[in-house]
Amino acid sequence: MADLAAVVGIGQTKYQTKRKDVSIAGLVREAAFNALTDAGLTWDDIDAVVVGKAPDMFEGGIMPELYLTDALGCNGKPMLRVHTAGSVGGSTAIVAASYVQSGMFKRVLTVTYEKQSESNAMWALSNAQPFSPHLNAGAGGFFAPIIREYMRRTNAPYDVGIKVATKDRLHGARNPLAHLQLPNITLKEVEDSPMLWEPLRFLESCPSSDGACALVISNEELAAQSPKKPAWIRGAAMRSEPTMYAGREQVNPQAGIDCAKDVYKQAGITDPRKDLDCAEIYVPFSWYEPMWLENLGFADVGQGWKLTMEGATSLDEKGDIPWNCSGGVLSSNPIGASGMIRFAEAARQVRGDAGDHQVDGAKLAMGHAYGGGAQFFAMWVVGSEKA
C-alpha cells in the first residue's frame, strides 16, 4: 500500500500572451518560489525536483531541463524530466507524488511550464511527415473531425460548444491568474467569432499562453507540519494507448475510461457527479466538455451535452458539478503546465483557497489532463480529508 501524500504548496504565474520580462528559467523559478512560499518552505527543504513540459519543439530549446537545474535549486539533488505531450502537467504531478507515496523522497518540488510566445506550437505540431500530406492543421484540425463525429452520434444542438466556451470564460473572469479576462462575454460573441476548423470557432479554442505552475508534495508526517491546509492525494492514475489503430474509438477513448475507473476506485468514488464537488478537466476545445463528461462517467454515453446545456457544470448557474471554475484550458493554455494547473486548481478547491472561483465547502475534487491524439491520460482526486 502506498504512503499518503499531500499537496502542501501551490505556485502559479499569471498567465498571459507574452512574458517578455523573464526567461524560461525565470518563469519556472517564479512558480517554484510561489509554491515554496505557499508551503512556508525554502529550497533546502526539497529532496528532489520533477520538471515537465510539452514537446521541446514548442520553444525550440532541446532538453531545457539541463539548464533549468540551477534555476530550480537542483544542485546536488535528483532531477527528472517528464514528457507525455499535452497531458504532461498531470503526469508530472503524478510522478512527483509517486516518489513521495513510495517513500523514496519525503518532499518533492514539481514544476511545469510553457512559454508559447517563444515559438509557434501549431507549427511544431504540424511538422511534415513523409507518409502523410503536409496540411499544417495543428491540434484544432486534428480534433475537429472527432468532434464532428460526436455531434453526429449524439445529435447534440450546434451551440453546446458555444455554451462551454462562454461558461469557462465567465469562470476565468473570477480568477485573476487566468490569461483571458472576458467578464462580459456573451454566447452571441462566441457564435460570431471567426470559424477556424469547423465546427470550432476562434472563441471555442484555447489561447496561447506563457506560464508555469508548481506544486510541493510531501509525505503524511511533513504535511501535518504544514502551515496551510494540505490537499490529500486520494487517487492518481495514468493510461495511454496508440494514436492510430484499426477500430480505435477516438470520440470516447478506452484509455480515458480505464484511467477514470482506476482513479475512482482508489478514491472510493462510485458516482463521480455525486461524489465529487467539482472538477478541473482538460478542455482545450469547447466540445471536449460534453465528450469528457461521458468518457469520465459524469453522464451516460450520448448525454454529456445535456449537463452542459442545463448549467450543471457552471458555477454562475449554481450547477451541481462545476467544471473548470478557474476558467480551464479555454482561459489559459501554457501547454506543458495546463495539466498541472488542473491538478493544482483541484487542490486549491479542497484547501478552500480558490478565491472568487471557490466552490463552497468543496471536499473532493478531480484534476484531469489528456495529450497527444487524445491517447495519454493523467488524473488525480484530491480531498480535504485523508480518507
Partner 1 sequence: MSDQNTEALEPITGIEVPVYLDYNFTAGRATARFLTGVKNGKLLGQRCPSCRNVYIPPRGCCAACGVATEEEVELSNKATVESFTIVHIPIPGNPIKPPYVIANLVPDGANISFLHVLSECKNEDVRIGMRVEALWKDASEWDYAMENIQYFRPIDEPDMEVEEIGRLKDA
Residues contributing to the site for partner 1 (CB under 8 A):
20-21, 60, 118, 127, 130-137, 140-141, 144-146, 148-149, 152, 194-200, 242, 244-248
The smaller minimum CB distance to partner 1, of residues 132 and 270, is found at 132
Q: How far is CA 102 from CA 87, 231, 239, 332, in A?
A: 22, 18, 19, 33
- For residues 301-336, one letter each, b for 16 or more C-beta atoms within 10 angstroms of the residue's C-beta and e for the rest, the string is eeebbbbbbebbbbbeeebebbbbbbbbbbbbbbbb
Beta bridge partners of 53: 113
Cell digits of residue 260? 477514470
Distance CA 44, CA 156 (A): 53
Nearer to partner 1, 240 or 349 (CB): 240
Nearer Cβ to partner 1 (137/309): 137
Kindly state the cell numbers that stand for 324: 473548470
H/E segment holding residue 244: none
CB of 317 to partner 1, least distance (A): 30
What is residue 194's DSSP assignment?
Answer: P
Is the Cβ of residue 134 or residue 274 nearer to partner 1 in the bound state? Answer: 134
Calpha distance 113→49 (Å, rounded): 14
d(CA 204, CA 28): 28
Least CB distance to partner 1 at residue 196 (A): 6
The distance of closest approach from Cβ of residue 248 to partner 1 in the complex, given in angstroms and rounded to an integer, is: 7
Return the number of the residue (1 or 128) whose C-beta is nearest partner 1.
128
Q: Which is nearer to partner 1, 76 or 194 (CB)?
A: 194
If we measure between CA atoms, which residue out of 258, 245, 281 comes closest to residue 373? 245
CB of 339 to partner 1, least distance (A): 24
Name 370's bridge partners: 377
In the complex, least distance from residue 167 CB atom to partner 1, rounded to whole angstroms? 23
Measured from the CB atom, the residue of 183 and 247 that comes closer to partner 1 is 247
Residues, the chain, total? 387
Report the nearest approach of partner 1 to the CB of residue 73 (Å): 25
Q: Measured from the CB atom, is 144 or 165 closer to partner 1?
A: 144
Cβ 132 to partner 1 shortest distance, Å: 6
- C-alpha grid cell for residue 84? 507525455
* Nearest-approach distance from CB 149 to partner 1, in angstroms: 5
Cell 455531434 belongs to 151
User: Measured between alpha carbons, how far is 345 from 10 in angstroms, rounded to an integer?
Assistant: 9
